[in-house]
Amino acid sequence: MTSGGDAPGMNAAIRSVVRTCAYYNIECVGIYRGYQGMIEGDFKPMDARSVKGIINKGGTMLKSARSTEFRTKEGRQKAYDSLKEENVDGLVVVGGDGSFTGALIFNQEFGFPVMGIPGTIDNDIYGTTATLGYDTALNTVVDVIDKIRDTASSHNRLFFIEVMGRDAGHIALNTGVGAGAEEILIPEEDLGLERLTESLRRSKRSGKSSSIVVVAEGDKIGKSVFELKDYVDEHMHDYEVRVSVLGHMQRGGSPSCFDRVLASRMGVKAVESLLDGKTNFMVGLVNDKMNLTPLDQAIKGQSKINTELLRVSDIMTT
Ligand code: F6P
């Protein structure tokens, strides 16, 4: 099943899990709408042909939902009963932090074997260098910033561009460097408003006529892109300022080749690990190899931002 926010590559992961099951002659059922569908017994038997033509599709054919009922003991009991009725003996969950927390509690209560595949554009999961959808989202965002830069430079404007990432700055930091942003604001570091305006003044003095500032939605300064615009409007008169909030378009679209390959590898590893009798792990990519991290570590551990990128960004904006 897929759970939590959708991410490009989830379909490729579904395909991989289903085809790995077919390869090992294991019956496979897809669970629709995440934990809510599990509670309601919304299952569909799947074979190798059920997943044809989806490797290149964004979103998730199994759909996704956030279930409040699964947060209750009664809800989880219903989910367990549905799985037993369907003769399911192992679960692969493609999702993020919240989905893994649910899987872990479910295992602790019912001893049900669970395996996680990290699927979120935020890349904020410990135990893998990349989550499904992250690479695609980076490419989508860089493409859009390039387009916005055309307007920024034609009109000598300063753009604040908000990208996703409530708790993690991976998208902002990488797309900021990749698209040549003048400043990058992330949840992990407080740049401070004065440093921001000072940096914008410096870039103006150095001869730049336009500027791009990439802002993660949960940036530590704690101001929305609209408040940042107001602040700059008030304190600097050298720029005409505009704002662009990229929103959910970052989660959509056809997965990149990297995400398709990663999803295919993770699906195989997840099914083979369950077959090996393993449970409560998340499949991850570490040093280009498939790796298993205990679910409780994946949830609690912090995926750290790459601080080298902050330095690279500083040097690039000289
Ligand atoms: O976790 C993925 C994510 O896209 C975050 O970056 C974003 O803050 C959040 O989901 C948005 O969630 P929703 O689609 O429920 O509004």
Q: Taking the domains of the chain in order of start, what are their residue ranges?
A: 10-133+256-300, 135-249
Q: Encode pLDDT of 100-135 as tens digits.
A: 999 999 999 999 999 999 999 999 999 999 999 999
Residue 301 Cα, ligand 1 centroid: separation in angstroms? Answer: 20
- Looking at 86-210, which runs of residues are DSSP E strands? 91-95, 114-118, 157-163, 183-185
Pocket of ligand 1 contains residue 5 by CB under 6 Å: yes
Q: Which two tokens stand for residue 115?
A: 């395996």
What pLDDT, on the 0 to 100 scale, is given for residue 140?
98
- Answer whether 121 contacts ligand 1 (Cβ < 6 A): yes
Which has the closest alpha carbon to 98: 303, 318, 298, 313?
A: 298
Of 303, 135, 163, which Cα lies nearest the Cα of 219? 163
What is the 10 CA–ligand 1 centroid distance (Å)? 15
CA distance 294 to 224: 36
- Nearest alpha-carbon partner for 285 in 270, 301, 300: 270
Q: Which of 40, 133, 61 is nearest to 95 (CA)?
A: 133
Do residues 254 and 58 touch, judged by C-beta distance below 8 A? yes
**pLDDT of 295 higher than 90:** yes
CATH of 135-249, picked from 3.30.420.40, 3.40.1710.10, 3.40.50.460, 3.30.465.10, is 3.40.50.460
Residues known to be catalytic? 122
pLDDT tens track for 216-250: 999 989 999 999 999 999 998 888 999 999 999 99
Confidence of residue 203 (pLDDT cuts 50, 70, 90): confident
The pTM (predicted TM-score) of the whole model is 0.96
User: pLDDT-derived band of residue 192, with 50, 70 and 90 as boundaries?
Assistant: confident
Mean pLDDT for all residues in the chain: 95
Ligand 1 atom, smallest distance to 166 CA? 8
> Tokens 């500027």 identify what position?
211
* Residue 303 pLDDT: 84
For residue 120 and ligand 1, the question of a CB distance below 6 A is answered with: yes
Do 135-249 and 10-133+256-300 have the same topology in CATH? yes
Tokens in use for 63?
A: 């759909």
Question: Which CATH architecture fits 10-133+256-300?
Answer: 3-Layer(aba) Sandwich (3.40)
Tokens representing residue 148 in the block: 């916005």
Closest atom of ligand 1 relative to the 66 alpha carbon? 15
Which residues partner with 1 through β-bridges? none
pLDDT-derived band at 301, boundaries 50, 70, 90: confident
Burial of 53: CB neighbours in 10 Å, binned 0-12, 13-18, 19+? exposed
Tokens 């998340």, residue located: 282
Contact 296, 104 (CB under 8 A): yes
Using one digit for the tens of pLDDT, what is the confidence trace for 37-76? 999 999 999 999 999 999 999 999 999 998 999 999 999 9
User: How far apart are the CA of 250 and the centre of ligand 1, in A?
Assistant: 10
Q: Which residue intervals of 207-256 are DSSP H helices?
A: 225-235
What's the Cα-to-Cα distance from 154 to each of 148, 151, 208, 210, rounded to whole Å?
A: 10, 5, 12, 8
Average pLDDT (139-158) is: 96
Confidence of residue 302 (pLDDT cuts 50, 70, 90): confident
